[in-house]
């Protein structure tokens, strides 16, 4: 609970109240403090991304905070500024009271001189304390985001520890295995038996990748450009879609084109259309994109009570179910309307979706506030028609929702 300065000031003499009023910080100061804190947070975050890029072998690649992070910083800065100003007014009220206790005959000039000294001393250490906290916390956040959005940079594995004291076949087996992939290690729970001393020690090793492929904070579309269809990339790397399984959100899943530089075609407007017309639009997608799409018939959209929308260009669209499931997001190759489609889907009540693991789950959707809350391993019985496992692999299906 914030400390209240008003009850302290209420007991002051008229002179003390005037002095406190003269030096009291108000909403104008709150705005100024918030702006300063915001600058410190942003600098710390972007410096942190830059440091991580340099350590990954890409010195000189400057980090830039994306809109989602900037919004979070702004909200946090505003909240902290209110608290800082309130604390200042509270501390200053007690400083006024202490002056009166030390010098009962103090007049306004004495109060002013003593309070200016108090303010100078307090600001010197308090400002440094706040700046240090912002630098530490937001550089740590930058490291977390960099790692989360650049999984291609890291080889993740686990090693059983201690490497000795194995008395059962299970423990002996994992000691012999040495480095174990993280996902495999997560499925093995310790202790394996009574008095088992073993546990997993996690390791993350960086590997070299093309610097142009590193996420640096800004939305990935500001760094990359979609290549022409023909060189196969990972699942969900292009057309902003979702994976689809019976009973799940379903959607458009992306394309098989590699990721180069992504440009958007500007903000589009979307009109609600007949489900049959919407389904026909999705059927117009090129054949090599359809394995990444969940295309329903008009009747199926009606049965789900889904609202179906198409852009003013007719080249992108999405559907939203009553429970907030975003489904059937699509964008024609070259349309560059994926970002607009998703923004509109959120504005029309969309709050959850699913997609194949990869670019969408790790970079694209998180910038809109979507966070993973569950994932399903690949299952061949749900493999989309036309899916090429040799080119697209067997990605997990990641379930995401706004705010996690």
User: What's the pLDDT at 404?
Assistant: 64
Distant-in-sequence, close-in-space partners of 136: CB < 8 Å, separation ≥ 6:
44
- Average the pLDDT over 255-279 and give the result: 59
Distant-in-sequence, close-in-space partners of 296: CB < 8 Å, separation ≥ 6:
250, 279, 304, 327, 328
Is position 215 within any domain? no
Is position 363 within any domain? yes
Which structural domain, as residue segments, surrounds residue 190? 151-206
Q: Where are the beta strands (DSSP E) in 81-236?
A: 154-161, 180-181, 199-206
Give pLDDT tens digits for 242-259: 444 433 333 433 332 222
Q: Both 354 and 236 in a single domain?
A: yes
pTM of the model: 0.45
Q: Both 156 and 247 in a single domain?
A: no
**Phi, psi for residue 95 in degrees, rounded to 5:** -65, -40
For residues 20 and 115, give the distance between their C-alpha atoms in angstroms, rounded to a whole number: 9
Check whether 305 has a pLDDT greater than 90: yes
379 vs 237, residue with greater confidence: 379
Q: Both 377 and 245 in a single domain?
A: yes
For residues 307 and 199, give the distance between their C-alpha atoms in angstroms, rounded to a whole number: 50
Q: Both 255 and 389 in a single domain?
A: yes
20 vs 154, residue with greater confidence: 20
Strand order in the sheet with 316-320: 270-272, 307-311, 316-320, 326-331
Q: How many domains, in total, are found in the chain?
A: 3
- What is the CA 382 to chain-centroid distance, rounded? 29
Q: What is the CATH number of the domain that holds 230?
A: 3.40.630
Place of tokens 């789950």: 361
């Amino acid at each position: 609970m914030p400390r209240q300065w008003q009850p302290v000031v209420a007991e002051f003499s008229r002179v003390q109240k005037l002095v406190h009023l003269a030096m009291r910080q108000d909403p104008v100061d709150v705005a100024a403090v918030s702006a300063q804190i915001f600058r410190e947070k942003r600098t710390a975050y972007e410096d942190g991304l830059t440091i991580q890029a340099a350590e990954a072998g890409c010195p000189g690649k400057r980090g830039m905070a994306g809109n989602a992070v900037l919004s979070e910083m702004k909200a946090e800065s505003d909240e902290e500024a209110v608290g800082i100003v309130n604390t200042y007014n509270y501390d200053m009220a007690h400083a006024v009271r202490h002056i009166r206790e030390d010098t009962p005959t103090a007049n306004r000039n004495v109060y002013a001189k003593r309070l200016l000294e108090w303010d100078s001393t307090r600001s010197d250490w308090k400002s440094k304390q706040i700046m240090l906290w912002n630098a530490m916390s937001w550089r740590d956040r930058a490291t977390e985001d960099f790692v989360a959005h650049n999984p291609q940079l890291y080889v993740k594995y686990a090693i059983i520890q201690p490497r000795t004291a194995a008395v059962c076949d299970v423990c002996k087996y994992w000691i012999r295995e040495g480095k174990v992939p993280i996902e495999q290690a997560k499925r093995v729970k310790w202790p394996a038996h009574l008095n088992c001393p073993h546990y997993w020690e996690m390791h993350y090793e960086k590997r070299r990748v093309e610097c142009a492929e590193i996420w640096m904070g800004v939305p990935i579309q500001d760094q990359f450009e979609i290549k022409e269809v023909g060189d196969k990339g990972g699942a969900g790397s292009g057309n902003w879609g979702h994976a689809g399984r019976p009973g799940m959100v379903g959607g458009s899943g992306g394309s098989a084109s590699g990721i180069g530089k992504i440009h958007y075609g500007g903000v589009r407007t979307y009109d609600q259309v007949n489900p049959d017309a919407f389904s026909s639009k999705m059927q117009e997608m090129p054949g090599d994109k359809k394995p990444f799409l969940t295309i329903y018939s008009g009747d199926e959209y009606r049965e789900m009570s889904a609202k179906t929308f198409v852009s003013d260009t007719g080249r992108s669209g999405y559907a939203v179910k009553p429970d907030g499931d975003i489904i059937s997001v699509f964008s024609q190759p070259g349309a560059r309307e994926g970002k607009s489609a998703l923004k509109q889907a959120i504005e029309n009540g969309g709050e959850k979706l699913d997609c194949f693991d990869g670019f969408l789950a790790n970079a694209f959707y998180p910038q809109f506030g979507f966070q993973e809350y569950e994932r399903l391993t690949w299952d061949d019985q749900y493999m989309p028609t036309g899916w090429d496992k040799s080119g697209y692999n067997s990605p997990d299906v990641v379930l995401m929702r706004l705010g996690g």
